[in-house]
Structure 1
Amino acid sequence: MASSQELSYAIPAQFASVAYCTPTMVASWSCGGKCDALLGVKIYGTGGDGSDTQYWYVGYDANHLGAIVVGHQGTNPSELEADLLDLDIILERPNPKLFPGLPSSVEAHSGFLGTHSRSAPGVLVAVNIAMKATGSKTVYIMGHSLGGAIALLDAVYLPLHLPPDTVFYTNTFGMPRVGNQAFADYVDAHVTNLARITNKKDPIPTLPYRSMGYHHSSGEKHIVTTGTAFGDWYACKGQDNTNQNCSTGAVPNIFAGKESDHGGPYGAIVIGC
């Protein structure tokens, strides 16, 4: 893929970085260089405590994306890696009150669902407020690591509760597997404009293992090198592509991974507040 195409992910990567900043900093858009690179954003809601509930925010970006933006905080990669290797990880059906009408076969990571459920109502309220205030019908959902998993769940959740003419874009960075095969198939069929961006030998996107019943949806954009300004990227076809230029093929087991690749750079962006 050409560098010009990767530029379209630079702004979402910046917004994913901002999600690591505290709600107080984000609410006043005073998070240093990360916020300074995205001037003109108006915030309509923030939340989370950075522990039981990851930080989140909803704003409107008039200058770059021209859209409502939803950002979700990630977490420490070593802690997340340990959690994702826990053999007690279970897949369960999403709460039908939050996810009405999903097929009974669709299951997702219980911990991700729990974390998402604590932020979802607040995010929905804030998005509705932003839509009424701005008239925008375009929503970008972004997150890195665990925040990417929550963002993907939002990409399933929000369209079930917002007007049908809303246009969604979802950009995740270093996201782990979120659900089972039926979940991945549902995402492929219903989540539009999804880019699942992975970086070199990052082990997190290869967890939890497929042998545990987890599967990635399509839409992977894998960074192969960072030797140039934006690196060499590879568009991976299908779900869990095992080509060595894709995450599943590049990291065949946890010992082949490189944790330092988890934070990026994604193009020119290193994730973090």
Structure 2
Amino acid sequence: MERHRWLKVAIFACLVAFSVGREFRLNHKHSGDAISFNHTLAEILVQYASAAYISDLTELFTWTCSRCDDLTQGFEVIELVVDVQHCLQSYVGVAKSLNAIVIAFRGTQENSIQNWIEDLYWKQLDQMYPGMPDAMVHHGFYFAYHNTTIRPAIVSAVERTRKFYGNLDIMVTGHSMGGAMAAFCGLDLAVSHNYQNVQVITFGQPRIGNAVFASYYSNIVPNTFRVTNGNDIVPHLPPFYSYFPRKTYRHFPREVWLYDVGFGSFIYQVEKVCDGSGEDPSCSRSVSGKSVSDHLVYYGVELSSPAWRSCRFVMDPPLAASYGMTDPNGNRVFSRDPEIPLIRLKEPSSLGGKSW
């Protein structure tokens, strides 16, 4: 029995050594430089993606929320956008520890995420991406970034921040639908605004376009990683049909698949950096992909709203009056000048605030 137990330990040790003892690289087509997946950066950005779900905007804007600590301490929010009309939320700020501007998008904020997932099964490629012949994308995801309050507020915030801080890197992240918006944002910043140092890391992102779009995207924003987790259902949607390669949805590269190895009480999570096809059959496509619970937690970080309250949010009235702007549709943008320190409120969580 003792010998059998030590044999299990030895096998598990070999699995761990094999899974973490390699460095994975992706060749950059434009410069020849190598792009490596950065595990530490992914663990940081997933916390920013999680914070995007906070509905207490006083705590989020002042970066004092329960998810606004640990690896993201010291972050300064420059712009917080709440598109009430379309139930969208994102923010832009400066992470001095990363020497970067971070842009984060909230994922699906609905009373029933299951309904949203079921709806994705039937989504069609119904939008031509401008300036990219034959590139088709998901209209809803495209619209959410390009045709709402979100895009102009983000672009303005990035321009103001770079004007003050200089040529910082730009890191874009999001979870679920927020990952889809993050991808469109990264592409937009590179194409329409000619930013060269754009990096995108998403979590549990659905497919957003066809093979032509995936090819364009991977050439324009090569520093992109899509992290998927176990049997997470959303990266399998909308469906990919290999027998209709030109007409079906297709992921762009590069996927990083998180999955568990081991047996019994010996379980270890492995990161597998997949091939450059975007649809590596040995990664998340190797499993059925029917889990909602795997969609809601990445790297041990919760990626959902603390309270499923649809699109409502809370904001302290004085802070809203000082930094907020409201358009005719009721959408809110909370902005601050990077040159002027934010007014720090005492115990913002005790202020209660006004609910919208």
The CA RMSD over aligned residues, in Å, is 2.3
Instruction: Tell me: CA distance 1:73–1:226, structure 2 relative to 1, closer, same or farther (3 Å).
Output: farther
What residue number does 1:18 align with? 51
For the residue of structure 2 that corresponds to 1:56, the secondary structure is strand
**Long gaps (5+) in structure 2:** 1-18, 24-37, 242-246, 306-356
Deviation (angstroms), 1:263: 1.2
Deviation (angstroms), 1:51: 6.2
Q: Does 1:85 find its partner at 2:128?
A: no
Deviation (angstroms), 1:181: 0.9
**Long gaps (5+) in structure 1:** 97-101
Q: Are the counterparts in 1 of residues 137 and 208 from structure 2 also a CA contact under 8 Å?
A: yes
Q: Are the counterparts in 1 of residues 202 and 227 from structure 2 also a CA contact under 8 Å?
A: yes
What residue number does 2:280 align with? 241
Q: Are the counterparts in 2 of residues 231 and 267 from structure 1 also a CA contact under 8 Å?
A: no
Deviation (angstroms), 1:42: 1.2
Identity %: 28
Q: Does 1:186 find its partner at 2:224?
A: no
Residues of 2 paired with 1:90 and 1:215: CA distance?
A: 11
What does residue range 192-207 of structure 1 map to in structure 2 within 5 Å?
A: 192-207=222-237
Q: Does 1:268 find its partner at 2:265?
A: no
What residue number does 1:121 align with? 152
What does residue range 75-224 of structure 1 map to in structure 2 within 5 Å?
A: 75=108, 76=110, 77-86=113-122, 89-94=124-129, 96=130, 102-117=131-146, 118=148, 119-164=150-195, 166-211=196-241, 213-224=248-259
Q: Which moved more, 1:75-84 or 1:9-18?
A: 75-84
Residues of 2 paired with 1:161 and 1:226: CA distance?
A: 43
Instruction: Tell me: CA distance 1:189–1:114, structure 2 relative to 1, closer, same or farther (3 Å).
Output: same
Residues of 1 paired with 2:158 and 2:267: CA distance?
A: 34
What does residue range 250-261 of structure 1 map to in structure 2 within 5 Å?
A: 250-251=287-288, 257-261=290-294
- With normalisation by structure 1, the TM-score equals 0.86
How many residue pairs match? The answer is 256
Q: Are the counterparts in 2 of residues 169 and 193 from structure 1 also a CA contact under 8 Å?
A: yes
Residues of 2 paired with 1:79 and 1:52: CA distance?
A: 17
For the residue of structure 1 that corresponds to 2:299, the secondary structure is coil
Residues of 1 paired with 2:61 and 2:183: CA distance?
A: 23
Match of 2:269 among 231, 243, 255: 231
Q: Are the counterparts in 2 of residues 71 and 143 from structure 1 also a CA contact under 8 Å?
A: yes
Q: Are the counterparts in 2 of residues 47 and 56 from structure 1 also a CA contact under 8 Å?
A: yes
More strand by share: 2
